Structure 1
Amino acid sequence: MRRERTRVTLGFTVDALVRAGRGGGALRMGLSRIPAEAWLLPEFDRAARLEGLGLPGAVQSLPGSVAAQAEVAALVGIRGDLRAAAGATWEDLCVLERDGQGRFVLTAGAVAFPTDWRLADKIGLPVAAIHAPIHGYAEQLSAGVDHFLDTLTPGAVFGRANWFVVASDALRYLPEDDAAERFAHVIADTAGETLFVRCERQTLRKLPQTGAVLFTIGIAVARLDAVEPATLARVAAGIAAQPAGEQGRKAAPFYASALADYAARRSNDRLEAA
């Protein structure tokens, strides 16, 4: 299978990441080649980072992952394990290594800012099982992801973007309440202030010594009324175009109408002001 690459530059802001991410329709990897110097966010809130990593369950590993963890740390310019490496980056770090069946499994993770998933539920699982909750992953994307991991070579860095609409700007997004209750306050008049676009800037690169694959996740969040008009339009259209299963998983039925109305009003306001 041919490796899919977008022609969009993968930036670090919400507006740039929404442009690079999937707008709707069938699942795709949507990979971009990233220069090594643009791999990780250079400046970030170190206090927030260390606070998140210090929470229970934020860092977990399997016994056989020590060498890969040390290689990751060396890659980001420090000595130590994955916790130390993740403290030196804004991005969450996940290590994938082959198991006895040749599958890539999650052997270590330092995840301070998860998006509706818990590291404890994923550690030790193969890639396909990690992504099982995503509707359509097995049919549309699993084989392509496996092929990409199998053929990835050291030195190259690839990236992609995901985005979500959420009801909070918290860096750790682990809602436990009912979705109807979570979005009950969202109406078209207040959607710009009460909805947020949450982006994941994901990268993958193979480690030359251990052969592990490092998967990074960098979070960017912006309130809906702070994004560019084109970003808002893309978000509204993307939510409307998602399959029903994915809309349900992302709680879209509870905010999609308010989001669409808000986007239409903002577009009309721009046209009238032009």
Structure 2
Amino acid sequence: MNLGFSVPDLLPRARGGGVLKMGLAKLDESEWLQPDPNLQARAEGFADYPEGIQLLPEGEAPGAELATMLGLSGGLPEAAARHHEDMCLLTLREGEEQYRLVGAAVAWPSDWTPAEKLGLPLRALHAPIQGYEEQLATGVDNFMAKLKPGAIYGRCNWFIAATDAKRWVAEPPEVAFAHVTRENAGETLFVRSERQALRRLPETGAILFTIGVYVAPLGALSDSDVAMLARAVGTLVEGEGDRRGAGAYADALIGYAAARDMERST
């Protein structure tokens, strides 16, 4: 399954609201990382956000393995700087059952701070996600335990933001979306999609989690994608919509989708 490398490619394959699901698809090696990354944008991203690089001693060996696997010298920071994707390393400590974040090279985080997450186990990492513990945690733990070297799995998600910035720091929703209306939603709302992939490094056994960030204005998307988002906003898991600030933009998005549908049918 080819997830593609853009919001229009990813959005039809993302969860459209409702119960949380991993939604994994097996990827070929050629589908793992975006070809021809914009290295200047990556360099600028890390220069603007140097605290996006965080590494525990446990992450040094996996980072070196990753760099070698990609034909580079150095470690995790060098690997992420030469690719479009942000990269995180997770390892399993002796006697524990949950993988922990031991390294992050993240230029474009989606409203999270690597320094605050470093060293945390998976369930604590995902604690802000409403429904994760009840609906996903056990399945994710089992998947991580069984993941074999060589296999690559991908998934994608979406968020609605009031900015097209690659590094997204969410403001209070009532502030961020205060200027958004049904009439201007096509230009003032942006769809942010993360193309995520997981694979196990064969020598150290660490798991690499890559995050490719793509952003597009709502108005640039197809009618079917806009309609899906309008439906999904109303079916987010209870509490998840609050975390995403949906209450501040839902009416504008739904109204914009309805107007596009009416325009298409006339």
**TM-score when normalising by structure 2:** 0.97
Is the 2:162–2:177 contact (alpha carbons within 8 Å) kept by the matching residues of 1?
yes
Report the equivalent of 2:18: 25
Question: Which residue, 161, 164, 168 being the options, matches 2:163?
Answer: 168
Structure 1 stretches of 4+ moved >6 Å:
none
Are 2:263 and 1:269 equivalent residues in the alignment?
yes
Match of 2:169, as an amino acid?
L
Distance 1:267 1:71 in 2: 51
Q: Could you say what secondary structure the match of 2:101 adopts?
A: strand
Q: Give me the identity figure in percent.
A: 46
- Equivalent runs, 1:11-160 vs 2, <5 Å: 11-54=4-47, 55-100=49-94, 101-160=96-155
**SS of the residue aligned with 1:94?**
strand
Q: How many Å separate the matches in 2 of 1:226 and 1:149?
A: 36
For 1:198 and 1:144, how far apart are their aligned partners in 2? 25
Q: TM-score, normalised by structure 1?
A: 0.94
Once the two structures are TM-superposed, the CA of residue 47 in structure 1 deviates from its matched residue by: 1.2
Paired AA for residue 217 in structure 2: R
Q: Render the CA deviation track for 1:185-243: whole Å, top value 9, x for unaligned.
A: 00000000000000000000000000000000000100000011111111111111102
Question: Offset of 1:136 from its aligned partner?
Answer: 0.3
Report the count of equivalent residues: 264
Cα distance between partner residues in 2 of 1:155 and 1:64: 22
**Displacement of 1:102 after TM fit?**
3.6
Aligned to 1:106, the other structure's residue is in SS state: strand
- Residue 3 of structure 1 aligns with which residue? none
CA deviation after TM superposition for structure 1 residue 145, in Å:
0.2
SS in structure 2 of the partner of residue 57 of structure 1: helix
Is contact 1:18–1:235 with CA below 8 Å preserved after alignment?
A: no
Query: Does 1:202 pair with 2:193?
Result: no
Structure 1 residue 86 displacement after superposition = 0.5
RMSD: 1.0
Instruction: Tell whether the 8 Å contact from 1:200 to 1:219 is kept in structure 2 after alignment.
Output: yes
Q: Post-superposition shift, 1:131?
A: 0.3
1:234-261 per-residue CA deviation (whole Å, 9 max, x = no partner) reads 1111111102300100000000000000
The 1-side partners of 2:185 and 2:24 are apart by: 31
Number of the residue aligned with 1:218 = 212
In structure 2, list runs of 5 or more residues that go unmatched.
Answer: none
CA drift of 1:153 comes to: 0.1
Which whole-Å CA distance do the structure 2 matches of 1:247 and 1:72 have between them? 36
